[in-house]
């Protein structure tokens, strides 16, 4: 959406990273929803045209006629907000959202102390901020992420087996995501379960090529290359379709800031298995919408997969419950409204 000079925003959401990342994905999906609630614009490189946007130079030179909110999600964005506020004397209220579940560096802690409002995506992330923060968990667009009308037909369209029990794991292929754990669990379970298949989607970067090649060698040696497949990086619309094609989702990550993929799967009516990282324990109802397993525990992951693979009725009920759970608790509209309330509280300060 092109900037309209007569439509001056009250909130600026910077995105100072060109490559796709979890933060960029948050901005892309959230800003259009928030724009229906408050005048908000994203700024920065690499944003798609449908995201309400204002050029960075224009954002930095907005008139000083009233206070606005600068909503940062990265250190660089917090630093730029401080420059705009303290050096260029722009009237920005400073706000930061953190997903990190680790101790922050001294510089980051200093930046955080300069913010007027803090948001954390999980209670765990809030505990590392050393200041009061409002917890606003991520949500998903339940109109985009929804069950397929005809899963078998969709699978045929995507070149997937319509009769398989299909497990998915989506995101960049690397050790942090526990991809190796899912492959090893598949090598253990699939020989005795001829319907079961696993697909991975996501980019393989140069520094993870050897890691991925080793996994592919193991799969080939077991003769399962037609049933455990790496599909590579897919266009966003195709990723959504692949969620809708699944029977079960697995997110056995060793570390995660928040982790949207189980929510996206659950919104599509797919039960999810997650490890004890990020927000997985808060978003997966263990035993009802999927399973929580100990981080890095191959045996626990294999046991959870075995349970859902071997009980079709329980898996299908969990998928229905997962969709309802996301609609009731984790819609993107709920997230957007909570953040807009923080903006309004900041703008109301005298």
- What pLDDT digit, counting tens, does each position of 128-167 carry? 998 999 999 999 999 999 999 999 999 999 999 999 999 9
Q: Backbone phi, then psi, for 196, in 5-degree steps?
A: -75, 140
- The rounded distance, in Å, linking the Cα atoms of 287 and 275 is 13
- The rounded distance, in Å, linking the Cα atoms of 223 and 217 is 10
pLDDT at 20: 62
pLDDT at 259: 86
Class of domain 151-329 (CATH, top level): alpha beta
44-57 confidence digits (pLDDT tens): 987 888 899 999 99
- The rounded distance, in Å, linking the Cα atoms of 268 and 105 is 38
Mean pLDDT over 83-90 rounds to 96
pLDDT at 24: 83
Beta strands in 208-257, from DSSP E residues, in sequence order:
228-230, 248-251
pLDDT at 8: 87
- What are the tokens at 5? 């000079």
Query: 217 to each of 184, 190, 210, 211, 212, how far by Cα in Å?
Result: 12, 16, 10, 10, 9
pLDDT at 5 over 70: no
Angle between helices 106-113 and 75-82 (to 10 degrees): 50
Q: How confident is the model at residue 3 (pLDDT cuts 50, 70, 90)?
A: very low
Exposed e or buried b per residue across 284-300, where buried means at least 16 C-beta atoms within 10 angstroms of its C-beta: bbeeebbbbbebeebeb
Architecture in CATH for domain 11-139+332-347? 3-Layer(aba) Sandwich (3.40)
Q: How confident is the model at residue 278 (pLDDT cuts 50, 70, 90)?
A: confident
pLDDT at 141: 92
Q: Backbone phi, then psi, for 324, in 5-degree steps?
A: -65, -40
Domain 11-139+332-347 identical in fold to domain 151-329: yes
Boundaries of every domain in the chain: 11-139+332-347, 151-329
What's the whole-model pTM score? 0.82
Mean pLDDT over 294-313 rounds to 98
Q: How confident is the model at residue 1 (pLDDT cuts 50, 70, 90)?
A: very low
pLDDT at 100: 85
């Amino acid at each position: 959406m092109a900037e309209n000079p007569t439509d001056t925003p009250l909130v600026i959401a910077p995105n100072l990273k060109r490559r796709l990342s979890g933060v960029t994905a948050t901005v892309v999906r959230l800003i259009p929803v928030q724009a229906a609630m408050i005048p908000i614009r994203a700024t920065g490189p690499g944003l798609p045209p449908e995201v309400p946007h204002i050029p960075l130079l224009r954002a930095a030179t907005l008139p000083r006629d009233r206070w606005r909110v600068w909503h940062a999600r990265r250190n660089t964005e917090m630093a730029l907000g401080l420059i705009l506020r303290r050096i260029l004397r722009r009237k920005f209220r400073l706000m930061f959202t953190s997903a990190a579940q680790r101790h922050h560096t001294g510089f980051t802690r200093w930046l955080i102390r300069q913010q007027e409002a803090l948001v954390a995506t999980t209670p765990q992330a809030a505990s590392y901020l050393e200041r009061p923060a409002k917890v606003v968990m991520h949500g998903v667009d339940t109109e985009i992420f929804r069950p397929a009308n005809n899963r078998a037909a969709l699978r045929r369209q995507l070149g997937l087996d319509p009769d398989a029990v299909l497990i998915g794991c989506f995101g960049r292929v690397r050790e942090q995501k526990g991809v190796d754990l899912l492959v090893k669990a598949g090598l253990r379970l699939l020989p005795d379960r001829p319907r079961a298949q696993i697909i991975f989607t996501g980019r393989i970067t140069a520094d993870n090529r050897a890691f991925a090649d080793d996994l592919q060698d193991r799969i080939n040696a077991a003769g399962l290359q037609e049933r455990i497949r790496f599909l590579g990086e897919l266009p966003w619309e195709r990723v959504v379709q692949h969620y809708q094609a699944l029977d079960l989702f697995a997110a056995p990550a060793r570390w995660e800031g928040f982790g949207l993929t189980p929510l996206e799967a659950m919104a599509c009516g797919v039960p999810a298995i997650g490890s004890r990282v990020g927000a997985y324990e808060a978003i997966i109802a263990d035993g009802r919408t999927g399973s929580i397993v100990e981080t890095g525990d191959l045996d626990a992951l294999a046991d959870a997969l075995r349970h859902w693979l071997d009980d079709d009725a329980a898996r299908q009920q969990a998928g229905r419950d997962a969709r309802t759970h996301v609609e009731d608790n984790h819609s993107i509209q709920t997230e957007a409204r909570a953040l807009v309330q923080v903006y309004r509280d900041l703008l109301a300060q005298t």
